[in-house]
């Protein structure tokens, strides 16, 4: 309830009437400089007190006026909150599999960062699906999938992916919405990306050459084009010419057939526009109406442009912050933050890898790559393999605030007599409390990783559905990882197929629901 001042009070205020105080303010000397008054509630309280004294002196009383704010419908749906699946290591952790299982009970699935450099593989009903731009939640026929404003979209790749899904029997029409604010990746971005990587030689970053970095560079330079620009072809053509000419001037030898490119975009513009919308409005309206929303993270925290092993990183923020900036939602709307981590560790491309194993025939590293089929979904490159890295995981959790973990590929460790866990970093004999930003430290001979050794197991776990049915040593491994990180491990991957997951969460029966669909 707020009070509406009576006419005498209003007149007194307007004329600067003083009642037992200086006429230029209403505060008494005792409270004029109090800490409480420095806050908005404090100032309002002081004003209210002053008004009360004026009313008392004049012998009048204000009339209460009901607060005319927005009414709340008690029958309105209660928002469930936005859940997020994030990569906790260097990517390829198996995020897509968890998203596929979870998405069966969600109404909206979204991508918020990166581009076609990301890759998720899902095995469902004996068929393998590979995703790069389209959220893997598209396999849920009831879900709407969003490509958020933080994603950079190479339309030829995107349309080809949609075509592949259609040929595989996935009905996606009407269920994909692309942000009108998402920036475009052009073919010349990919050419520049590849040329720059080649020129780096031995110092190469390990980019996928999908044009992601150059596209984000155009975005930051404010000369990029967005998906929504296709709705105004006259402006699109003018800006495309400028962007193409800029790149040809900046990169001698780069040739762009501008007219051919423009002809392509003229042809696809109406089709793309039919999928384009303001995804910020769509997402927030879905939240307000009580829809369940799931964000499918791409890449991983250790590839984050700010938090990763720079410069051996991607060009976006595949950590928790990208959900806010790449989808346009408030942090108040976030709920579960699910970190996905392999039971061991892998990395594609260049850059430091503290727990990396030697890659030789018959070695443990080769065993992990062979058993885990560790080859990139996007590039086909062999992944580097190593032991689980606890300091790295703690760093990742500090940034993202994981509420629970999805431990994948536990089955790949089957058959190893011993399993090591990296538990501590030291540099020149001193403990390191976090991941160092200086890469020279991690590549120095004075940088060491301390390990714990756990006993292995030989039993096949690919058909296990309950945690209690895992071999005792497998259970011990999971418990030890959980204890070291201080984060509950909710899901455990025990095989390559879609439903080869042990769910330890109370009251959850997602696998059964997925089987019924």
Residue 314 contacts residue 351 (beta carbons within 8 Å):
no
Cis peptide before 51 (omega within 30 of 0): no
Of the candidates 157, 106, 156, the residue with the CA atom closest to the CA atom of residue 136: 106
Cα(433)–Cα(496) distance, integer angstroms? 35
Residue 357 contacts residue 351 (beta carbons within 8 Å):
no
Cα(339)–Cα(332) distance, integer angstroms? 19
Question: 260 among the known binding-site residues?
Answer: no
Question: 328 among the known binding-site residues?
Answer: no
Whose tokens are 């980019």? That residue is: 207
Whose tokens are 């604010």? That residue is: 181
Question: 379 among the known binding-site residues?
Answer: yes
Question: 208 among the known binding-site residues?
Answer: yes
List 183, 210, 219, 292, catalytic entry? 219
Question: 63 among the known binding-site residues?
Answer: no
Question: 386 among the known binding-site residues?
Answer: no
Q: Which ranges of 372-435 would DSSP assign to H, the alpha helix?
A: 390-400
Q: Which ranges of 33-109 would DSSP assign to H, the alpha helix?
A: 40-58, 95-102
Q: Please, what is the end-to-end C-alpha distance for the chain in angstroms?
A: 51
Question: 118 among the known binding-site residues?
Answer: yes
Question: 501 among the known binding-site residues?
Answer: no
Question: 120 among the known binding-site residues?
Answer: yes
Question: 96 among the known binding-site residues?
Answer: yes
163 catalytic? Reply is no
Question: 378 among the known binding-site residues?
Answer: yes
Question: 222 among the known binding-site residues?
Answer: yes
Question: 168 among the known binding-site residues?
Answer: no
List 92, 180, 389, 500, catalytic entry? 92
User: CA torsion sign, 73 to 74 to 75 to 80?
Assistant: positive
Of the candidates 316, 337, 325, the residue with the CA atom closest to the CA atom of residue 283: 325
Q: Which ranges of 119-257 would DSSP assign to H, the alpha helix?
A: 155-167, 187-200, 212-221, 233-250
92 catalytic? Reply is yes
Q: In b/e form, how buried is each residue of 505-515, taking b as 16+ CB within 10 angstroms?
A: eeeeebbeebe
Question: 290 among the known binding-site residues?
Answer: no
Residue 98 contacts residue 406 (beta carbons within 8 Å):
yes
Cα(323)–Cα(329) distance, integer angstroms? 7
Query: What tokens were used for 267?
Result: 């042809």
Question: 411 among the known binding-site residues?
Answer: yes
List 120, 189, 209, 247, catalytic entry? 120
50 contact partners, CB below 8 Å, separation of at least 6: 21, 26, 27
Type and span of the H or E element at 173: none
120 catalytic? Reply is yes
Cα(501)–Cα(512) distance, integer angstroms? 11
Cα(360)–Cα(448) distance, integer angstroms? 21
Q: What is the largest CA-CA distance in the chain?
A: 96
Question: 224 among the known binding-site residues?
Answer: no
Question: 493 among the known binding-site residues?
Answer: yes
Question: 383 among the known binding-site residues?
Answer: yes
Question: 409 among the known binding-site residues?
Answer: yes
| C-alpha atoms less than 13 angstroms from C-alpha of 291 in its C-beta half-sphere | 21
Residue 236 contacts residue 258 (beta carbons within 8 Å):
no
Determine the 3-state secondary structure of 69 from DSSP: coil
Determine the 3-state secondary structure of 145 from DSSP: strand
Known binding residues for GTP: 91-97, 119-121, 383, 409-411, 493-495
Known binding residues for Mg(2+): 92, 119
Known binding residues for substrate: 377-383
Known binding residues for IMP: 92-95, 117-120, 208, 222, 299, 314, 381
Known binding residues: 91-97, 117-121, 208, 222, 299, 314, 377-383, 409-411, 493-495
Give me the active site residues, please.
92, 120, 219
């Amino acid at each position: 309830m707020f009070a509406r001042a009576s006419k005498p009070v209003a007149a007194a205020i307007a004329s600067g009437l003083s009642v037992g105080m200086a006429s230029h303010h209403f505060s008494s000397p005792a409270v004029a400089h109090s800490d409480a008054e420095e806050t908005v509630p404090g100032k309002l309280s002081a004003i209210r007190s002053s008004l009360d004294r004026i009313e008392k002196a004049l012998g009048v009383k204000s009339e209460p006026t009901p607060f005319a704010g927005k009414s709340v419908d008690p029958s309105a749906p209660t928002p469930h909150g936005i859940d997020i699946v994030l990569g906790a290591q260097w990517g390829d952790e198996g995020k897509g599999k968890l998203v596929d299982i979870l998405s069966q009970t969600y109404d909206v699935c979204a991508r918020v960062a990166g581009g076609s450099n990301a890759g998720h593989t899902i095995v469902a009903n004996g068929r393998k699906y590979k995703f790069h731009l389209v959220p893997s939640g598209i396999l849920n026929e009831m879900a709407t999938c969003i490509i958020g404003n933080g994603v950079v979209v190479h339309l030829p790749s995107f349309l080809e992916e949609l075509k592949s899904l259609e040929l595989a029997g996935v009905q996606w029409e009407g269920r994909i919405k692309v942000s009108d604010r998402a920036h475009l990746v052009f073919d010349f971005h990919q050419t520049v990306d590849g040329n720059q990587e080649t020129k780096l030689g031995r110092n190469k970053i390990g980019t996928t050459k999908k044009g992601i970095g150059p596209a984000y560079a155009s975005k930051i330079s404010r000369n990029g084009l967005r998906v929504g620009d296709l709705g105004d072809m006259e402006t699109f053509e003018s800006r495309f010419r400028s962007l193409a000419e800029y790149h040809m001037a900046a990169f001698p030898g780069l040739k762009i057939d501008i007219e051919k490119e423009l002809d392509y975009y003229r042809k696809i513009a109406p089709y793309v526009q039919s999928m384009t919308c303001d995804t910020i409005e769509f997402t927030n309206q879905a939240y307000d109406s009580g829809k369940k929303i799931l964000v499918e993270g791409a890449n991983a925290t250790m590839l984050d442009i700010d938090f990763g092993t720079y410069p051996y990183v991607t060009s976006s923020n595949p950590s928790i912050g990208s959900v806010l900036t790449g989808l346009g939602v408030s942090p108040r709307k976030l709920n579960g933050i699910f970190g996905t981590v392999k039971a061991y560790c892998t990395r594609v491309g260049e850059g430091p890898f503290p727990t990396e194993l030697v890659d030789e025939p018959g070695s443990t590293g080769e065993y992990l790559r062979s058993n885990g089929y560790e080859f990139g979904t996007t590039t086909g490159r062999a992944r580097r393999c190593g032991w689980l890295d606890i300091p790295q995981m703690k760093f990742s959790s500090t940034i993202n605030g994981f509420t629970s973990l999805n431990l994948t590929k536990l089955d790949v460790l089957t058959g190893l007599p011993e399993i090591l866990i990296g538990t501590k970093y030291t540099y020149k004999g001193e403990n390191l409390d976090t991941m160092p930003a200086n890469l020279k430290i991690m590549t120095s001979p004075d940088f060491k990783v301390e390990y714990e050794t756990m006993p292995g197991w030989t039993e096949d776990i690919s058909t296990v559905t309950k945690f209690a049915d895992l071999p005792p040593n497998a259970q011990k491994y999971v418990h030890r990882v959980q204890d070291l990180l201080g984060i509950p491990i909710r899901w455990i991957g025990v095989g390559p197929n879609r439903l080869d997951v042990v769910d330890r969460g109370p009251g959850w029966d997602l696998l059964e629901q997925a089987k019924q669909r």
